[in-house]
Amino acid sequence: MSAWFHDAIYEPQRHDNERRSAELAVEMLSRRAPGGDLAPDRLQTLVALIMATVRHQLPEAQDLELAAALVAAAGAGADGGGGAGAAGTEGAPAAAPAGAARPPAAHDAKTAAAVGVAPSLSPPPALQPQPQLPPREPGPDGAAAAAGDTERLRRLRHDAALLLDADLSALGGCPAAYAAYAAGIRAEYLPHYGATAYAAGRCRVLRSFLQCPALYFTARGAEAHEAPARANLAAELVELEAQASSAAAEGGDDSGVSASR
């Protein structure tokens, strides 16, 4: 379900699509699900998985807390007649820069809060397994509650690894499939940015991916996609660097692009 919802709302010139998609999921599943509301912990897990595609890193304990805040805020908005489905353009975040890939949606910083998330628009961070979290001190409910939290996080990270690998699977397709994927990205963003700006922004994204120690979290994903993904990314980078150099020599201007995702 997280895979179905994670790009349910997608506007190329916005960079809050994942948050709005998560809000839509909460609205639809908690208010319109046949037979009653979905349990809050399941909604929080769903939101945490969707939001994991923002940074493209495995969730940490605090991400569940951020998801709980987003679920609460989205629920309050639905009560007031708002919600993601009714979102307008007033107060919309700044346009996303050129070269964005769908999938993946990868930003470089965790938001300070789940409500009003507006990730920075730098190239994605190194996609690598997260360090083991230190054990939480037992609270009033004792060790049983802490053990339950640890198990919940373990399941969440397992599911997130599968989702994130699927989200990047297009990078590891055969050359023809990847070329079609890259052409789709170009067609989606080029109307909003000039060719020079697109090439410069997209190059930054490709370099950031190639600098990652590992693109995939599961052994199966790494075995099936890591090598072809790196070959595809490198080939596109060479082509776009040549285009950017040619445009620069002809006096092209890419000053409108400061970052890319």
Least confident range from 27-31, 36-40, 58-62, 82-86: namely: 82-86
pLDDT band at residue 58 under the 50/70/90 scheme:
very high
Q: Establish if 176 belongs to a structural domain.
A: no
Give the pLDDT score at 88.
38
Give the pLDDT score at 105.
33
**Which 3 state secondary structure label does DSSP give 19?**
helix
Q: Establish if 46 belongs to a structural domain.
A: yes
Question: Which domain range does residue 82 map to?
Answer: 2-105+128-167
Give the pLDDT score at 40.
81
pLDDT band at residue 251 under the 50/70/90 scheme:
low
Give the pLDDT score at 215.
95
Q: Establish if 133 belongs to a structural domain.
A: yes
User: In terms of Cα–Cα distance, which of 163, 155, 158, 156 is closest to 56?
Assistant: 163
Q: Establish if 159 belongs to a structural domain.
A: yes
pLDDT band at residue 5 under the 50/70/90 scheme:
confident
Helices (H), 114-212: 143-167, 175-189, 195-210
Q: Establish if 101 belongs to a structural domain.
A: yes
Q: Establish if 240 belongs to a structural domain.
A: no
Q: If you average pLDDT over each of 25-29, 221-225, 244-248, which comes out highest? A: 221-225
- Could you give the C-alpha distances from 253 to 114, 162, 166, 178, in angstroms and in order? 36, 40, 36, 28
Least confident range from 11-15, 68-72, 159-163, 213-217: namely: 11-15
Domain count, the chain: 1
Tens digits of per-residue pLDDT, 139-152? 555 555 566 788 88
Q: Establish if 140 belongs to a structural domain.
A: yes
| CA 226/CA 220 separation, integer angstroms | 10
Q: Is the pLDDT of residue 2 over 50?
A: yes
Q: Is the pLDDT of residue 4 over 70?
A: yes
Give the pLDDT score at 145.
54
Taking a C-beta distance cutoff of 8 angstroms, is the pair 225, 212 a contact? no
Taking a C-beta distance cutoff of 8 angstroms, is the pair 189, 199 a contact? no
Output the six-digit token pair for 248.
């620069």
Least confident range from 106-120, 163-177, 185-199: namely: 106-120
The stretch 21-44 carries a mean pLDDT of: 76
Chain centroid to CA 144: 33
pTM: 0.66
pLDDT band at residue 236 under the 50/70/90 scheme:
very high
Q: Establish if 43 belongs to a structural domain.
A: yes
